[in-house]
Amino acid sequence: MNQKNYILWDNSGWIVNVKSFLPDYLAKTESVFCQGNGRLGLRAVTEESYCGMVRNMFVNGTFNRFSENEVTELPNLPDMTAFEIYINGHSFSLLKGNFLDYTLSLNLYNGKLKREFIWISPEQHKFKMVFERFVSMTERDLVGMKISITPLNCDCEVLIKTGIDGQMTNSGSQHFEEGESCVLPGNILQMCSKTTNSDVFVVNQVNLESYIDGWRIEKPFSVTIGRRKITAKGEYVLSPKQTLSIEKLALVITSRDIYFDGKQNRPSTYYKTYAETRGGHIFNNNFDFHFGQSEKTWKKVWNEIDIEISASSNRDQTFLRFAMYHLMIMTDIKDSRMGIGAKGLSGEGYKGHSFWDTEIFIMPFFLFTQPDVARIILSYRGKSLPGAYAKAKKYGYKGAMFPWESAWLDDGEVTPDWGGTDIVTGKAMEILTGHLEQHISADIAFAIYQYYVATDDTSFMEQFGYEIVLGTAEFWLSRIEIDAEGIGHINDVIGPDEYKEHVNDNAFTNHLVFHNLAVAEEFYDTLMQNNSTLLDKLVEKTNFNIDKCREIKEKLYLPQVNSQGLMEQFEGYFNLSEIDLTKYKNASTVGNIYNDYNMKMLSQIKVSKQADTLLLMLLLENVFPEECKKKNYYYYEAKTLHDSSLSKCSHSILAADIGLLDEAYKFFKEGMLTDFGDNLLSSDEGIHSACMGGIWQSVVMGFGGIRIAEEGLRINPVLPKEWNSLKFSIYWRGIRTEISINGKNITVKNEGNKSLNFSHRGQEYWLEPRKKLVFYSNNERE
């Protein structure tokens, strides 16, 4: 076990833990060790309260807008994790007395959070304290908690207070009206509340059970009801070595849950009745039973998605599983009415909004491991098309212009207008991404095409896919400006590099738009041949004009490499000034350049926040030869600060593609440390969702060499010297395929019932069902 790091890992490859309690930096572990199931997310707060902690519980899709002056955000639901513990009349706190053998651990295999230590009270009495918690992957509205207290050298009296706290806010914004609290038969606590604007009805229920040495105590808790709070109190007397266990099962039901879809206008009594029936079912079983059921579900998940890395240390293996764990707990795999937040469900950062991160950095994980979930993710964009049409119309364009930040389907653009302080003017900085960072529409069309090629899912295309591609193409046709020489330009945009505003002909944007138009043309021709009735409906709905598309596509200016083999990031980039970036590239935290320069100044300097031109060469890899990628890699990496968590994975994958394996591994490792590293402030507002997808992509698409190319599936692995072997499975057009790589050979095994077609090192292969091909290091095959 590595003792130099704050967050540690064990030899199993499944456990992450910390051995230190740092009350000034609680947010780090609250975010990194968070739990969830895609519907519900819970920060890893301690049961006892400390100054600076942030108790957050979110349910996906329950967006609310506090006031007209604020944007829509996921509201912080009533808390059910807090416990007040009094021992011999004194409140328990790790800031009082002393403690030994402190460990906070998260088991990635089964999702259990466990905290244990020996607490030494100010009177020198010793107590073994164990706190356990899970968010059920089986019962998606259930949270289970368990506290165990064992006096080791004294008799003691223990008082426990816990319940439901509806006084929670989002950094001060209270999203819920005060509702009704009551005690139901069986001593079940219930709180009902409703969001102030979006009318989401929420029912919280809690069931409490007490045990001493495993024997259930029949004495009920006493209950008090206050303003937005309902509290149960239990009192116990323990002898030395006796163990008191308190089990708390908590249910969260909302009117926007998927099984109520289309029924949000039902009276509140409807949801209360449902919750009470649901509680009667769930509360018939205890903590261990429900955790066991959840553990079985997690086992099934890992059987589908797990990747095995053999290396001298289990660090990379554990951190990769950590990334996949977070991808699973942030994504609702059943409900296509909401997206994936940039912080998942782990904190208030970015207010639960979805960005292009989803399609470019997160969706590929699901596309290759659980294609049905990828369809759900993309269906969210299909269902939000009305908002995309409305945004285009608002800005004077045609077609579908997707919001930069998205929340609930009917919210439209939810990007805040103002952000941090301008270091020069002292005023708030205007956030322009919602207006100018328009490449998201082409990014979504790109993801649709990738999904279609990898799955051949024509039913999705007919439901949403074709319309998204034609609708976004029509937007670009109205957005492109034709100059006097007949050349098409896309002016006044922000590319992926957000340190550059109001730029013209951003290479990433223009090339992705060209791809968008080319795919629209391809789909139009296919539908003309195969389904003209559907095509007629789509043209009527999107106003897509194929003749205009063919004409403007050929006129669109596509930046090309110059005589030095370099592609200009945007018009005029090569004329910008240069400064010494060493100070900022070596900084331990991101965004330090804002301390010296404002956005206007940054726009005049050759410095990038994140991968821009290099991301283009990664996504549209067949357009650019390897030598071109290599020259641009060296040129732009020197000018990139990686101040976005999206950046390092892109550099890692591209470096692997062009044979720079040491560089690829360096950026893979640094990407892992975005949340896991020793920077105790890096994750205060939540983990970096897209970085989790990027870590997986670095392994599977970078070192594993998996790519959706023009010819179909491409498998070109390259193993870093730090690893002995790598094994993973993917789905390609319904065929589960296992790929194993070591220092001597590459094995591709078809585990499906259809023949698999793929390319390797420029050669095409057909692999029959249940057969395997072995490629040796000299490229011979067996």
Query: By the 8 A CB rule, do 166 and 229 touch?
Result: yes
Residues 345, 287, 240: CA angle, nearest 5 degrees? 115
- Residue 408 marked as a ligand binder: no
Of the candidates 98, 47, 88, the one whose C-alpha atom is nearest the C-alpha of residue 238 is 88
CA pair distance 687, 194, nearest whole angstrom: 28
Task: Give helix 661-676 / helix 689-697 axis angle, nearest 10°.
Answer: 150
Please say whether the beta carbons of 320 and 309 come within 8 A. Answer: yes
498 is catalytic: yes
**Cβ-contact 513, 527 below 8 angstroms:** no
What lies within 8 Å, CB to CB, of 561 at 6+ separation is 567, 624, 628, 632
Residues 6+ apart with CB under 8 A from 382: 336, 463, 464, 465, 467, 468
Torsion of CA 70, 75, 78, 82, to 10 degrees: -100
Indicate the helix (H) or strand (E) that contains 481. Answer: strand 481-482
Cβ within 8 Å of residue 666, ≥6 positions away: 652
**Among candidate residues 190, 180, 172, 179, the one with its CA nearest the CA of residue 75:** 172
* Residues contacting 283, CB < 8 A, separation 6+: 186, 188, 207, 249
Distances (CA, A) of 135 to 251, 277, 302, 535: 10, 20, 16, 45
How far apart (Å, rounded) are the C-alpha atoms in residues 535 and 706? 33
d(CA 749, CA 740): 9
Q: How far apart are alpha carbons 297 and 444 in whole angstroms?
A: 31
Question: Is the four-CA dihedral 308, 699, 455, 296 of positive or negative sign?
Answer: positive
The amino acid that residue 544 corresponds to is F
764: alpha, beta or left? (left if phi > 0; alpha if psi -120 to 50): beta
Selected catalytic residue, list 73, 498, 501, 663 = 498
Instruction: Say how far apart CA 590 and CA 592 lie, in whole Å.
Output: 6
Q: What angle do CA 736, 741, 745 make, to 5 degrees?
A: 115
Residue 316 known to bind ligand: no
**Residue 357, annotated ligand binder?**
yes
Whether 356 has a binding-site annotation, put simply, is yes
Sheet holding 229-238, edge to edge: 90-91, 83-87, 156-165, 229-238, 222-226
Q: 71 vs 68, 96, 400, CA distance in Å? A: 8, 41, 22
Residues annotated within a binding site for substrate? 356-357, 609-610
Residues annotated within a binding site? 356-357, 609-610
- Positions annotated as catalytic residues are 498
